[in-house]
Structure 1
Amino acid sequence: MRALEERLKDIKHEILEAHSLSRKAVELCLDGLRGDEEKRKKVIQIEHIIDVMNTDVDCECVSIVALFQPVAWDLRFVVSMMRISGHYERITDLTQEIAMYTIKSGFDETMTIFEKMKEAILRMFDLVGHAIETGNTANLRGELISLDDLVDRYYVESIESIVKTAKQNPDLIEDMVDMVLVARHLERVADLLSKVGSRLIFIEEGRRVWIK
Protein backbone atom coordinates (compact mmCIF):
# COMPACT_ATOMS: atom_id res chain seq x y z
CA MET A 1 0.00 0.00 0.00
CA ARG A 2 2.99 2.30 -0.51
CA ALA A 3 1.14 4.11 -3.30
CA LEU A 4 -1.68 4.98 -0.90
CA GLU A 5 0.77 6.22 1.73
CA GLU A 6 2.45 8.51 -0.79
CA ARG A 7 -0.85 9.99 -1.91
CA LEU A 8 -1.93 10.59 1.67
CA LYS A 9 1.36 12.38 2.29
CA ASP A 10 0.71 14.55 -0.76
CA ILE A 11 -2.72 15.53 0.58
CA LYS A 12 -1.24 16.34 3.98
CA HIS A 13 1.37 18.55 2.30
CA GLU A 14 -1.38 20.32 0.33
CA ILE A 15 -3.43 20.94 3.47
CA LEU A 16 -0.41 22.30 5.33
CA GLU A 17 0.17 24.71 2.45
CA ALA A 18 -3.49 25.77 2.54
CA HIS A 19 -3.16 26.24 6.29
CA SER A 20 -0.08 28.45 5.88
CA LEU A 21 -1.70 30.56 3.16
CA SER A 22 -4.90 30.98 5.16
CA ARG A 23 -2.88 32.11 8.17
CA LYS A 24 -1.11 34.67 5.99
CA ALA A 25 -4.47 35.97 4.77
CA VAL A 26 -5.55 36.51 8.38
CA GLU A 27 -2.29 38.34 9.09
CA LEU A 28 -2.83 40.71 6.15
CA CYS A 29 -6.59 41.32 6.08
CA LEU A 30 -6.69 44.10 8.68
CA ASP A 31 -3.99 45.98 6.77
CA GLY A 32 -6.23 45.74 3.73
CA LEU A 33 -9.07 47.11 5.86
CA ARG A 34 -6.84 50.08 6.70
CA GLY A 35 -6.39 50.77 2.98
CA ASP A 36 -3.07 49.06 2.23
CA GLU A 37 -3.66 48.18 -1.42
CA GLU A 38 -0.72 45.78 -1.72
CA LYS A 39 -1.87 43.76 1.29
CA ARG A 40 -5.40 43.77 -0.07
CA LYS A 41 -4.21 42.38 -3.41
CA LYS A 42 -2.23 39.68 -1.61
CA VAL A 43 -5.30 38.55 0.33
CA ILE A 44 -7.30 38.37 -2.90
CA GLN A 45 -4.50 36.37 -4.54
CA ILE A 46 -4.44 33.92 -1.64
CA GLU A 47 -8.20 33.46 -1.85
CA HIS A 48 -7.92 32.54 -5.53
CA ILE A 49 -5.11 30.07 -4.83
CA ILE A 50 -7.07 28.37 -2.04
CA ASP A 51 -10.11 28.02 -4.31
CA VAL A 52 -8.02 25.97 -6.74
CA MET A 53 -6.33 23.99 -3.97
CA ASN A 54 -9.69 23.11 -2.44
CA THR A 55 -10.89 21.65 -5.73
CA ASP A 56 -7.63 19.74 -6.16
CA VAL A 57 -7.86 18.23 -2.68
CA ASP A 58 -11.48 17.18 -3.20
CA CYS A 59 -10.62 15.49 -6.50
CA GLU A 60 -7.61 13.71 -5.04
CA CYS A 61 -9.57 12.45 -2.03
CA VAL A 62 -12.38 11.11 -4.21
CA SER A 63 -9.80 9.41 -6.42
CA ILE A 64 -8.17 7.75 -3.39
CA VAL A 65 -11.51 6.41 -2.12
CA ALA A 66 -12.33 5.01 -5.56
CA LEU A 67 -8.94 3.41 -6.19
CA PHE A 68 -7.86 2.18 -2.75
CA GLN A 69 -11.07 1.82 -0.69
CA PRO A 70 -9.32 2.97 2.50
CA VAL A 71 -10.54 1.98 5.97
CA ALA A 72 -10.04 3.06 9.59
CA TRP A 73 -7.48 5.90 10.01
CA ASP A 74 -6.91 6.23 6.27
CA LEU A 75 -10.61 6.68 5.55
CA ARG A 76 -11.07 9.15 8.40
CA PHE A 77 -8.09 11.11 7.09
CA VAL A 78 -9.33 11.29 3.50
CA VAL A 79 -12.88 12.26 4.38
CA SER A 80 -11.74 14.82 6.95
CA MET A 81 -9.22 16.44 4.61
CA MET A 82 -12.04 17.25 2.22
CA ARG A 83 -13.91 19.04 4.99
CA ILE A 84 -10.79 20.77 6.34
CA SER A 85 -9.88 22.01 2.88
CA GLY A 86 -13.36 23.49 2.57
CA HIS A 87 -12.94 25.27 5.90
CA TYR A 88 -9.72 26.92 4.70
CA GLU A 89 -11.48 27.98 1.51
CA ARG A 90 -14.19 29.64 3.61
CA ILE A 91 -11.61 31.30 5.88
CA THR A 92 -9.93 32.97 2.91
CA ASP A 93 -13.33 34.06 1.59
CA LEU A 94 -13.92 35.85 4.89
CA THR A 95 -10.48 37.45 4.97
CA GLN A 96 -10.95 38.72 1.44
CA GLU A 97 -14.24 40.33 2.44
CA ILE A 98 -12.53 41.98 5.42
CA ALA A 99 -9.71 43.32 3.26
CA MET A 100 -12.15 44.74 0.72
CA TYR A 101 -13.73 47.09 3.26
CA THR A 102 -12.10 50.47 3.91
CA ILE A 103 -12.14 51.79 7.44
CA LYS A 104 -12.44 55.49 8.15
CA SER A 105 -10.91 57.27 11.10
CA GLY A 106 -12.87 57.16 14.33
CA PHE A 107 -12.77 53.44 14.99
CA ASP A 108 -9.30 53.30 16.57
CA GLU A 109 -10.54 51.55 19.70
CA THR A 110 -12.38 48.94 17.64
CA MET A 111 -9.33 48.33 15.46
CA THR A 112 -7.29 47.66 18.59
CA ILE A 113 -9.81 45.01 19.60
CA PHE A 114 -9.69 43.55 16.07
CA GLU A 115 -5.92 43.22 16.43
CA LYS A 116 -6.42 41.28 19.64
CA MET A 117 -8.90 39.02 17.88
CA LYS A 118 -6.40 38.47 15.08
CA GLU A 119 -3.60 37.54 17.49
CA ALA A 120 -5.81 34.99 19.24
CA ILE A 121 -6.82 33.53 15.87
CA LEU A 122 -3.18 33.25 14.81
CA ARG A 123 -2.47 31.32 18.00
CA MET A 124 -5.29 28.97 17.02
CA PHE A 125 -3.67 28.57 13.61
CA ASP A 126 -0.40 27.60 15.27
CA LEU A 127 -2.09 24.94 17.41
CA VAL A 128 -3.96 23.49 14.45
CA GLY A 129 -0.89 23.55 12.21
CA HIS A 130 1.15 21.68 14.80
CA ALA A 131 -1.60 19.06 15.12
CA ILE A 132 -1.78 18.55 11.36
CA GLU A 133 1.97 18.18 11.08
CA THR A 134 2.56 15.90 14.08
CA GLY A 135 -0.76 14.13 14.57
CA ASN A 136 -0.65 15.09 18.25
CA THR A 137 -4.14 16.17 19.35
CA ALA A 138 -3.79 15.43 23.08
CA ASN A 139 -4.59 18.94 24.37
CA LEU A 140 -6.00 20.45 21.20
CA ARG A 141 -9.66 20.59 22.19
CA GLY A 142 -9.15 22.43 25.45
CA GLU A 143 -6.66 24.90 24.00
CA LEU A 144 -8.89 25.74 21.04
CA ILE A 145 -11.95 26.17 23.24
CA SER A 146 -10.03 28.59 25.45
CA LEU A 147 -8.85 30.69 22.51
CA ASP A 148 -12.21 30.61 20.75
CA ASP A 149 -13.88 31.82 23.95
CA LEU A 150 -11.35 34.65 24.03
CA VAL A 151 -12.22 35.61 20.45
CA ASP A 152 -15.91 35.54 21.38
CA ARG A 153 -15.27 37.96 24.25
CA TYR A 154 -13.36 40.29 21.95
CA TYR A 155 -16.24 40.05 19.49
CA VAL A 156 -18.67 41.32 22.11
CA GLU A 157 -16.25 44.10 23.09
CA SER A 158 -15.85 45.14 19.46
CA ILE A 159 -19.60 45.40 18.92
CA GLU A 160 -19.93 47.55 22.03
CA SER A 161 -17.07 49.75 20.81
CA ILE A 162 -18.60 50.11 17.34
CA VAL A 163 -21.98 51.15 18.74
CA LYS A 164 -20.36 53.64 21.13
CA THR A 165 -18.34 55.21 18.32
CA ALA A 166 -21.38 55.50 16.04
CA LYS A 167 -23.40 57.18 18.80
CA GLN A 168 -20.64 59.71 19.36
CA ASN A 169 -20.29 60.41 15.63
CA PRO A 170 -23.52 59.89 13.63
CA ASP A 171 -21.57 60.45 10.38
CA LEU A 172 -20.05 56.99 10.91
CA ILE A 173 -23.37 55.13 10.98
CA GLU A 174 -22.87 53.63 7.51
CA ASP A 175 -19.33 52.55 8.37
CA MET A 176 -20.67 50.92 11.52
CA VAL A 177 -22.34 48.23 9.41
CA ASP A 178 -19.01 47.36 7.73
CA MET A 179 -17.25 47.18 11.07
CA VAL A 180 -19.89 44.86 12.51
CA LEU A 181 -19.39 42.56 9.51
CA VAL A 182 -15.62 42.58 10.04
CA ALA A 183 -16.12 41.60 13.67
CA ARG A 184 -18.48 38.82 12.67
CA HIS A 185 -16.08 37.52 10.00
CA LEU A 186 -13.17 37.35 12.46
CA GLU A 187 -15.34 35.52 14.98
CA ARG A 188 -16.38 33.10 12.24
CA VAL A 189 -12.76 32.39 11.29
CA ALA A 190 -12.14 31.25 14.87
CA ASP A 191 -15.19 28.99 14.69
CA LEU A 192 -13.92 27.41 11.47
CA LEU A 193 -10.52 26.73 13.01
CA SER A 194 -12.28 25.03 15.90
CA LYS A 195 -14.08 22.82 13.38
CA VAL A 196 -10.73 21.94 11.81
CA GLY A 197 -9.52 20.96 15.27
CA SER A 198 -12.55 18.73 15.77
CA ARG A 199 -11.79 16.95 12.51
CA LEU A 200 -8.16 16.41 13.47
CA ILE A 201 -9.20 14.79 16.74
CA PHE A 202 -11.60 12.57 14.80
CA ILE A 203 -8.78 11.47 12.49
CA GLU A 204 -6.36 10.60 15.27
CA GLU A 205 -8.69 9.28 17.97
CA GLY A 206 -11.66 7.99 15.99
CA ARG A 207 -14.16 9.96 18.09
CA ARG A 208 -16.26 13.00 17.36
CA VAL A 209 -15.87 15.97 19.67
CA TRP A 210 -17.67 19.29 19.74
CA ILE A 211 -15.62 22.45 19.89
CA LYS A 212 -17.76 24.93 17.98
Structure 2
Amino acid sequence: MREHFTMEIDSLQKLLLEMSVSAGVSIVKALDAMREKDAEAAKDVIENDSGIDLMEVKIEEECLKIIALYQPVAKDLRTIVAVLKINAELERIADFASTIARRALDISGIEEKIAEEIDFAEMLKLVYANFQKAMGSFIERDCIAALNVIRADDEVDKMHRENFAKITNLIIKYPNFTSYYLDCLSVSKSLERICDISTNISENLIYLEQGKIIRHSHL
Protein backbone atom coordinates (compact mmCIF):
# COMPACT_ATOMS: atom_id res chain seq x y z
CA MET A 1 0.00 0.00 0.00
CA ARG A 2 2.88 2.37 0.78
CA GLU A 3 4.21 2.00 -2.74
CA HIS A 4 0.82 2.92 -4.21
CA PHE A 5 0.55 5.93 -1.91
CA THR A 6 4.00 7.15 -3.00
CA MET A 7 3.05 6.78 -6.64
CA GLU A 8 -0.15 8.76 -6.06
CA ILE A 9 1.80 11.56 -4.35
CA ASP A 10 4.36 11.67 -7.17
CA SER A 11 1.54 11.91 -9.73
CA LEU A 12 -0.10 14.67 -7.67
CA GLN A 13 3.11 16.69 -7.55
CA LYS A 14 3.56 16.36 -11.31
CA LEU A 15 0.07 17.78 -11.82
CA LEU A 16 0.91 20.62 -9.44
CA LEU A 17 4.12 21.36 -11.34
CA GLU A 18 2.23 21.41 -14.65
CA MET A 19 -0.23 23.87 -13.15
CA SER A 20 2.59 26.08 -11.87
CA VAL A 21 4.15 26.18 -15.35
CA SER A 22 0.82 27.24 -16.86
CA ALA A 23 0.35 29.93 -14.22
CA GLY A 24 3.91 31.21 -14.74
CA VAL A 25 3.44 31.40 -18.51
CA SER A 26 0.24 33.37 -17.96
CA ILE A 27 2.04 35.96 -15.82
CA VAL A 28 4.76 36.58 -18.42
CA LYS A 29 2.34 36.53 -21.35
CA ALA A 30 0.02 39.02 -19.65
CA LEU A 31 2.88 41.49 -19.04
CA ASP A 32 4.11 41.02 -22.61
CA ALA A 33 0.58 41.76 -23.86
CA MET A 34 0.56 44.94 -21.82
CA ARG A 35 3.96 46.10 -23.06
CA GLU A 36 3.15 45.30 -26.69
CA LYS A 37 -0.47 46.47 -26.41
CA ASP A 38 -1.41 43.06 -27.83
CA ALA A 39 -5.14 42.49 -27.36
CA GLU A 40 -5.08 38.94 -28.79
CA ALA A 41 -2.35 37.79 -26.41
CA ALA A 42 -4.28 39.31 -23.51
CA LYS A 43 -7.43 37.43 -24.56
CA ASP A 44 -5.41 34.17 -24.70
CA VAL A 45 -4.36 34.64 -21.07
CA ILE A 46 -7.94 35.32 -19.98
CA GLU A 47 -9.23 32.26 -21.86
CA ASN A 48 -6.46 30.06 -20.43
CA ASP A 49 -7.62 30.89 -16.90
CA SER A 50 -10.56 28.49 -17.22
CA GLY A 51 -8.14 25.66 -18.06
CA ILE A 52 -6.15 26.38 -14.91
CA ASP A 53 -9.39 26.39 -12.91
CA LEU A 54 -10.11 22.89 -14.21
CA MET A 55 -6.61 21.76 -13.18
CA GLU A 56 -7.23 23.11 -9.68
CA VAL A 57 -10.46 21.10 -9.39
CA LYS A 58 -8.74 17.94 -10.66
CA ILE A 59 -5.89 18.23 -8.13
CA GLU A 60 -8.31 18.90 -5.29
CA GLU A 61 -10.35 15.84 -6.22
CA GLU A 62 -7.18 13.72 -6.34
CA CYS A 63 -6.16 14.95 -2.88
CA LEU A 64 -9.56 14.06 -1.43
CA LYS A 65 -9.42 10.65 -3.09
CA ILE A 66 -6.00 9.93 -1.56
CA ILE A 67 -7.20 10.99 1.89
CA ALA A 68 -10.22 8.69 1.58
CA LEU A 69 -8.19 5.71 0.30
CA TYR A 70 -5.08 5.88 2.47
CA GLN A 71 -6.12 7.93 5.52
CA PRO A 72 -2.63 9.49 5.80
CA VAL A 73 -1.24 10.76 9.10
CA ALA A 74 1.70 12.87 10.26
CA LYS A 75 3.95 14.02 7.40
CA ASP A 76 1.92 12.16 4.78
CA LEU A 77 -1.15 14.14 5.82
CA ARG A 78 0.85 17.38 5.85
CA THR A 79 1.94 16.61 2.29
CA ILE A 80 -1.68 16.41 1.13
CA VAL A 81 -2.60 19.55 3.06
CA ALA A 82 0.35 21.42 1.55
CA VAL A 83 -0.61 20.31 -1.97
CA LEU A 84 -4.21 21.42 -1.40
CA LYS A 85 -3.06 24.84 -0.19
CA ILE A 86 -0.51 25.35 -2.97
CA ASN A 87 -3.07 24.21 -5.52
CA ALA A 88 -5.40 27.01 -4.38
CA GLU A 89 -2.52 29.52 -4.40
CA LEU A 90 -1.62 28.66 -8.00
CA GLU A 91 -5.21 29.21 -9.06
CA ARG A 92 -5.05 32.66 -7.44
CA ILE A 93 -1.85 33.44 -9.33
CA ALA A 94 -3.62 32.59 -12.58
CA ASP A 95 -6.46 34.91 -11.54
CA PHE A 96 -4.01 37.76 -11.02
CA ALA A 97 -2.42 37.04 -14.40
CA SER A 98 -5.92 37.28 -15.87
CA THR A 99 -6.42 40.62 -14.10
CA ILE A 100 -3.19 41.92 -15.66
CA ALA A 101 -4.38 40.67 -19.06
CA ARG A 102 -7.63 42.60 -18.65
CA ARG A 103 -5.65 45.75 -17.89
CA ALA A 104 -3.59 44.99 -21.03
CA LEU A 105 -6.83 44.83 -23.01
CA ASP A 106 -7.77 48.28 -21.71
CA ILE A 107 -4.37 49.69 -22.62
CA SER A 108 -4.41 48.12 -26.10
CA GLY A 109 -7.36 50.36 -26.91
CA ILE A 110 -5.48 53.60 -26.17
CA GLU A 111 -4.72 55.27 -29.50
CA GLU A 112 -2.81 58.31 -28.21
CA LYS A 113 0.89 58.12 -27.44
CA ILE A 114 1.16 57.73 -23.68
CA ALA A 115 3.16 60.54 -22.09
CA GLU A 116 5.26 58.42 -19.70
CA GLU A 117 4.78 54.66 -19.75
CA ILE A 118 5.36 52.52 -16.68
CA ASP A 119 8.00 49.81 -17.08
CA PHE A 120 7.35 46.65 -15.07
CA ALA A 121 10.34 44.69 -16.41
CA GLU A 122 12.38 44.71 -13.17
CA MET A 123 9.37 44.01 -10.97
CA LEU A 124 8.27 41.14 -13.21
CA LYS A 125 11.78 39.70 -13.20
CA LEU A 126 11.89 39.59 -9.39
CA VAL A 127 8.30 38.39 -8.98
CA TYR A 128 8.73 35.61 -11.54
CA ALA A 129 12.07 34.54 -10.05
CA ASN A 130 10.50 34.35 -6.58
CA PHE A 131 7.63 32.28 -7.95
CA GLN A 132 10.02 29.83 -9.61
CA LYS A 133 12.15 29.61 -6.46
CA ALA A 134 9.05 28.98 -4.34
CA MET A 135 7.94 26.09 -6.53
CA GLY A 136 11.52 24.84 -6.72
CA SER A 137 11.79 24.84 -2.93
CA PHE A 138 8.61 22.76 -2.76
CA ILE A 139 9.79 20.22 -5.34
CA GLU A 140 13.25 19.95 -3.74
CA ARG A 141 11.91 20.18 -0.16
CA ASP A 142 14.45 22.98 0.43
CA CYS A 143 13.52 25.01 3.51
CA ILE A 144 16.51 27.37 3.15
CA ALA A 145 15.43 28.33 -0.36
CA ALA A 146 11.88 28.79 0.93
CA LEU A 147 13.11 31.19 3.62
CA ASN A 148 14.99 33.20 0.99
CA VAL A 149 11.77 33.57 -1.01
CA ILE A 150 9.96 34.83 2.08
CA ARG A 151 12.68 37.38 2.80
CA ALA A 152 12.71 38.63 -0.81
CA ASP A 153 9.06 39.67 -0.54
CA ASP A 154 10.06 42.97 1.10
CA GLU A 155 11.85 44.12 -2.07
CA VAL A 156 8.72 43.61 -4.18
CA ASP A 157 6.64 45.44 -1.57
CA LYS A 158 9.09 48.34 -1.86
CA MET A 159 8.75 48.34 -5.67
CA HIS A 160 4.97 48.50 -5.36
CA ARG A 161 5.16 51.44 -2.94
CA GLU A 162 7.48 53.25 -5.36
CA ASN A 163 5.10 52.53 -8.25
CA PHE A 164 2.19 53.88 -6.22
CA ALA A 165 4.02 57.14 -5.50
CA LYS A 166 5.19 57.49 -9.10
CA ILE A 167 1.77 56.76 -10.59
CA THR A 168 0.06 59.19 -8.20
CA ASN A 169 2.37 61.97 -9.40
CA LEU A 170 1.87 61.05 -13.05
CA ILE A 171 -1.91 61.17 -12.70
CA ILE A 172 -1.57 64.73 -11.42
CA LYS A 173 0.89 65.58 -14.20
CA TYR A 174 -1.06 63.90 -17.03
CA PRO A 175 -4.76 63.76 -16.02
CA ASN A 176 -5.74 62.80 -19.60
CA PHE A 177 -4.04 59.43 -19.05
CA THR A 178 -5.61 58.70 -15.65
CA SER A 179 -7.24 55.48 -16.88
CA TYR A 180 -3.88 54.18 -18.15
CA TYR A 181 -2.13 54.95 -14.88
CA LEU A 182 -4.91 53.35 -12.84
CA ASP A 183 -4.52 50.22 -14.98
CA CYS A 184 -0.79 50.31 -14.22
CA LEU A 185 -1.51 50.62 -10.51
CA SER A 186 -3.71 47.51 -10.76
CA VAL A 187 -0.88 45.65 -12.53
CA SER A 188 1.63 46.67 -9.86
CA LYS A 189 -0.72 45.50 -7.11
CA SER A 190 -1.32 42.20 -8.92
CA LEU A 191 2.42 41.55 -9.18
CA GLU A 192 2.84 42.39 -5.50
CA ARG A 193 0.07 39.93 -4.62
CA ILE A 194 1.64 37.22 -6.79
CA CYS A 195 4.84 37.63 -4.79
CA ASP A 196 2.82 37.34 -1.58
CA ILE A 197 1.44 34.06 -2.90
CA SER A 198 4.99 32.82 -3.58
CA THR A 199 5.67 33.56 0.09
CA ASN A 200 2.61 31.51 1.05
CA ILE A 201 3.85 28.58 -1.05
CA SER A 202 7.21 28.72 0.72
CA GLU A 203 5.53 28.86 4.12
CA ASN A 204 3.55 25.75 3.18
CA LEU A 205 6.79 23.95 2.32
CA ILE A 206 8.21 24.78 5.75
CA TYR A 207 4.98 23.51 7.33
CA LEU A 208 5.30 20.30 5.32
CA GLU A 209 8.91 19.65 6.25
CA GLN A 210 9.01 20.92 9.83
CA GLY A 211 5.40 20.91 10.95
CA LYS A 212 5.71 24.62 11.82
CA ILE A 213 3.18 27.29 10.88
CA ILE A 214 5.29 30.43 10.44
CA ARG A 215 2.99 32.82 8.56
CA HIS A 216 2.38 34.98 11.64
CA SER A 217 5.92 34.77 13.00
CA HIS A 218 8.88 37.10 12.53
CA LEU A 219 11.75 35.43 10.64
Please confirm whether the aligned pair reaches a TM-score higher than 0.5, indicating the same fold: yes
Query: 1:37 deviation in Å?
Result: 3.0
Query: 1:41 deviation in Å?
Result: 3.3
The partner residue of 1:58 within 57, 60, 81 is 60
Please say if 1:202 is aligned against 2:174.
Answer: no
The partner residue of 2:115 within 98, 103, 106 is 106
Deviations 1:91-146 (Å, cap 9, x if unpaired)? 111111111113352342x2x2x2211111111122112212211222421x1133
Please say if 1:81 is aligned against 2:83.
Answer: yes
For the structure 1 residues 24 and 152, does the alpha-carbon distance in structure 2 shift closer, same or farther, using more than 3 Å as the test?
A: same
Distance in 2 of aligned mates of 1:2 and 1:98: 43
Root-mean-square deviation (CA, aligned residues, Å) is 1.7
Query: 1:84 deviation in Å?
Result: 0.6
Q: Percent identity of the aligned residues?
A: 26
Please say if 1:137 is aligned against 2:143.
Answer: yes
Superposed, 1:28-177 pairs within 5 Å as 28-34=29-35, 35-101=37-103, 102-103=106-107, 104=110, 105-108=114-117, 110=118, 112=119, 114-141=120-147, 143-177=148-182
Distance in 1 of aligned mates of 2:151 and 2:215: 13
Question: Do 2:93 and 2:197's aligned partners in 1 also have CA atoms closer than 8 Å?
Answer: yes
Runs of 4+ in 1 over 3 A off after TM superposition: none
Report how many aligned residue pairs link the two structures. Answer: 208
Any unmatched runs of 5+ in structure 2? none
Question: Do 2:150 and 2:202's aligned partners in 1 also have CA atoms closer than 8 Å?
Answer: no
> 14-23 or 128-137, which moves further after superposition?
128-137
Report the residue type matching 1:69 in the other structure. Q
Secondary structure class of the residue paired with 1:138: helix
Distance in 2 of aligned mates of 1:133 and 1:21: 16
Report the residue type matching 1:150 in the other structure. E
Given the two structures, how large is their TM-score scaled by the length of structure 1? 0.91
Secondary structure class of the residue paired with 1:48: helix
Deviations 1:6-49 (Å, cap 9, x if unpaired)? 11111100111111111111111112223213431332243122
Report the residue type matching 1:168 in the other structure. K
Question: Do 1:32 and 1:100's aligned partners in 2 also have CA atoms closer than 8 Å?
Answer: no
Question: Do 1:148 and 1:191's aligned partners in 2 also have CA atoms closer than 8 Å?
Answer: yes
Show the counterpart of 1:179.
184
